[in-house]
Amino acid sequence: MIIPHRVFFLKVLFLCCFFYVLCMTILRHKELQEGCKATCKGPYDGKWSKTTFGFGPEDDDFVAELIYNYRVGEYRLGNNFLGLPLESSQAVSNAKLLGWPLTGVGKGLYLAEAPGGYRFYLVDKEQPPNDPVQKVCLAVSDLHKSIHCCSSLLGTKVKEGNEEKKTVLMLFAETQCKLELHNIVGTVDHGTAFGQIAFSFPCEQLTDLEALMMKGNHKTLTLLVSLDSPGKATVQVVIWTDSDAHEISLLSYWDPNVLTRIVKQGTFDKWGHFTSAPKENMYTQKQKGK
C-alpha cells in the first residue's frame, strides 16, 4: 500500500511549471466538463482539468495531482498541509538557475513555495534511485487519535516520534513516501484549497475498509464506487474524513500499463491551458529500449 497522490489546487494552470523545476514529469492530463464522483475537484462547478506530476509511475512513487477549476480565481490556504520534503540537488539547481525563490531553512535544506503557497522543502542531495519524495506533512489536533486512526484503518506503522516537536513519522514501507503528523495548537483549518490525500489498496480490501470506517463512525463522503474513464482501467474508490476533516481517498490498485502515461513535450496555449495529448506509455518505451 502506498500514497499515490496528494491533490493541490491551482488558480493559474500555467503555474504548474513549478513541478518541472522539481524535475517531475507530466504523467497524465485530462480536460473535464462534469464533476468527479471522487469529489477531487472540490465543491466547485464548471469546467476543470486534472494534471498529474510525478518522478515515476503511480504504482511506485508519490505523485502530485493538480486541479484547475476554470471558474475559480482564488483559493484560501489553511494550515492543514504543512509541506512536502524531497531529495534532489537538481531541483535546487533548477530553482536557482530559473530564479525561483528559495529560503534556506537548514544545512542543505531550502523552502520553495509552489504557486498558491504550498510548501516544498528541497534537500540538496543527489536524487535517490527510488522515490525522492520523503514524506507528506499534515497538521492534526490530537496526535494520539490520529495515530490510532492511521494505524487501524490505513495499516501504517510508527517509525519515529519527537515529543518536543509533537510529531510522528508513519510509514508503509521504507522505500515509499512517508506520512508525518504534526500536533498543532487549535483547529485544523482546510481553507478553500483543502485537497485530498489518497492511498491505494488491493481491490478486495476496499469493502472491508469501508465497513471499518462505518463501524468507527467516521464520516464517509463517497461510498465505494467505480470510476470509469474511456481507454483506462476502472478504479474503485471510497472517500472519508478523519476527526480533523482531512479528506482521505482509498483507491484500488491501478494498472500502470493503462493509467500511467508520460507526456514527452507538454505545450500550453496563451491562456495557460494544456494542449498536447498524452504520448507513448512509459512501460512500452522501456520495453522498446531493451
Dihedrals phi, psi of 235, to nearest 5 degrees? -115, 135
What is the pLDDT at residue 228? 73
Going along the chain from its start, the domains and CATH numbers come out as 2-289 (3.10.180.10)
What is the pLDDT at residue 159? 95
What is the pLDDT at residue 59? 74
Task: Report residue 33 as a C-alpha cell.
Answer: 466538463
Dihedrals phi, psi of 80, to nearest 5 degrees? -75, -40
Task: Report residue 108 as a C-alpha cell.
Answer: 542543505
pLDDT in tens, the chain (290 residues): 566 678 888 887 766 788 889 999 888 888 888 777 666 767 777 889 988 899 988 777 899 999 988 888 889 999 999 999 999 999 999 999 999 999 999 999 999 998 889 999 999 999 998 899 999 999 999 999 999 999 988 889 999 999 999 999 999 888 889 999 999 999 999 999 888 899 988 888 999 999 998 888 889 899 999 887 655 677 889 999 999 999 999 988 754 444 443 343 444 443 334 444 444 333 333 334 44
Side by side, the strands of the sheet bearing 48-54 are 25-32, 48-54, 63-69, 2-10, 197-201, 247-252, 235-241, 219-227
What is the pLDDT at residue 259? 44
What is the pLDDT at residue 37? 66
Give, as one character, the DSSP assignment of residue 162: E
CA distance 91 to 21: 6
CA distance 177 to 15: 24
Number of Cα atoms under 13 Å in the Cβ half of residue 244: 30
Question: What SS3 string covers 21-47?
Answer: HCCCEEEEEEEECCCCCCCCCCCCCCC
Rg (CA), the chain: 18
Give, as one character, the DSSP assignment of residue 70: T
Beta strands in the chain (DSSP E): 2-10, 25-32, 48-54, 63-69, 81-87, 103-106, 109-113, 119-123, 135-140, 157-162, 167-171, 178-183, 197-201, 219-227, 235-241, 247-252
Task: Record the pTM.
Answer: 0.84
The candidate with the shortest Cα–Cα distance to 199, out of 253, 272, 275, 246, is 253
